[in-house]
């Protein structure tokens, strides 16, 4: 009976021992995954590699370079944004926006999700009309970020410059409190 072991380099299972049922069948070799974090360091020396995991690389770039970094990711074969998330760092006075990029078309990248992150200064009073926490939109690079960026705008108070529709998506139009995903948002009744 064959046993399975995990290859630590590719994280794929390989069968060892004799497998009589598949004897004589042609074996298809898997292509070696390409490291995706290195090109970002070469082009953006001030970028930080958070994770160089082959399947889940994560890169933090300054907000001035986020459009160029997203364009580089697209040139590498990442063709869509799977999701966009926000992280509030009140002690650092920053908000991080993370674009999770994937590929439907590049066979080497279909299992890879690139986390492309950037940070913006966190404003103290992020109420409507006081949008000083700003980042450039990536909508022109990845069309699929449109609704994700609207949600980040609404829940974290990050205004995306150049976004065609920075308006409320889920909260009531008359919402006048802090964005609800900020860590200093006080949940009423607790």
CATH of the domain at 116: 3.30.460.80
Question: Is residue 47 domain-resident?
Answer: yes
Question: Is residue 134 domain-resident?
Answer: yes
Question: Is residue 72 domain-resident?
Answer: yes
Instruction: Give the mean pLDDT of 55-60.
Output: 94
pLDDT at residue 104 tops 80: yes
Q: Which domain holds residue 148?
A: 32-161
Domain count, the chain: 1
Question: Is residue 16 domain-resident?
Answer: no
Question: Is residue 180 domain-resident?
Answer: no
pLDDT at 131: 62
Per-residue pLDDT band for 24 (boundaries 50, 70, 90) equals low
| DSSP sequence for the chain | --EEEE-TTT--EEEES--GGGTTPPPPPPPPPPP-SHHHHHH-TT-EEEE--SSS-EEE--GGGHHHHHHHHHHHT--EEEEEEEEEETTTTEEEEEEEEE-SS-TTTTT--EEEEEEEEPPS---TT---SEEE--TTT-GGGHHHHHHHHHHH--EEET-TT-S-SSS-TT--S--TTSTTPPPTT-
Question: Is residue 94 domain-resident?
Answer: yes
pLDDT at 21: 57
| pLDDT digit string, tens, across residues 72-85 | 999 999 999 999 99
Question: Is residue 61 domain-resident?
Answer: yes
Question: Is residue 15 domain-resident?
Answer: no
């Amino acid at each position: 009976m064959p046993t399975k072991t995990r290859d630590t380099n590719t994280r794929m299972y390989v069968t060892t021992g004799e497998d009589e049922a598949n004897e004589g069948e042609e074996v298809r070799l898997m292509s070696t995954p390409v490291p995706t974090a290195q090109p970002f360091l070469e082009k953006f020396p001030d970028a930080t590699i958070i994770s160089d995991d082959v399947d889940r690389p994560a890169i933090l770039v300054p907000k001035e370079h986020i459009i160029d970094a997203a364009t580089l990711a697209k040139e590498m074969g990442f063709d869509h944004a799977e999701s966009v998330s926000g992280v509030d760092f009140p002690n650092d006075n920053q908000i991080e926006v993370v674009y999770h990029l994937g590929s439907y078309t590049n066979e080497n990248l279909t299992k890879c999700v690139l986390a492309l992150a950037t940070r913006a200064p966190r404003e103290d009073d992020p109420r409507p009309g006081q949008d000083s926490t700003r980042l450039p939109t990536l909508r022109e690079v990845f069309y699929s970020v449109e609704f994700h960026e609207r949600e980040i705008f609404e829940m974290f108070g990050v205004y995306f410059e150049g976004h065609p529709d920075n308006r409320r998506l889920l909260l009531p139009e008359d919402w006048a409190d802090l964005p609800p995903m900020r860590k200093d948002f006080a949940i009423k009744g607790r």
